Amino acid sequence: MTSLSETIRPSRAQARDWKAIVILILLVPVLWSPLILFRFVLYQPFSIPSGSMAPTLMVGDYVFAAKYAYGYGRYSIPFAPSFISGRVLAADPAYGDIVVFRTAKDNSVDYVKRVVGLPGDRIQMRQGQLILNDRPVTRVALETKPAGSTCGGDEDAKVKRWRETLPNGASYVTNDCDDNGYLDNTSVFTVPPGHFFVLGDNRDNSTDSRMMSTFGFVPMDNLIGKVTRIFWSLDEDGEPHMERLGKVR
Query: Looking at the annotation, which residues are catalytic?
Result: 52, 113
Residue 123 CA to residue 136 CA, distance in Å, equals 10
Question: Residue 138 in contact with residue 165, Cβ under 8 Å?
Answer: yes
Residue 96 CA to residue 87 CA, distance in Å, equals 21
> How many residues are recorded in the chain?
249
Residue 111 CA to residue 103 CA, distance in Å, equals 8
Question: Residue 101 in contact with residue 92, Cβ under 8 Å?
Answer: no
**70 in helix, strand or coil?**
helix
Strands (E), 24-110: 43-47, 61-66, 72-73, 87-88, 98-101
Which residue type occupies 1? M
- The b-or-e profile of 165-176 (16+ CB within 10 A means b, else e) is bbeeebebbbbb
CA geometry: angle at 105 spanning 100 and 110, to 5°? 25
Beta bridge mates, 124: 131
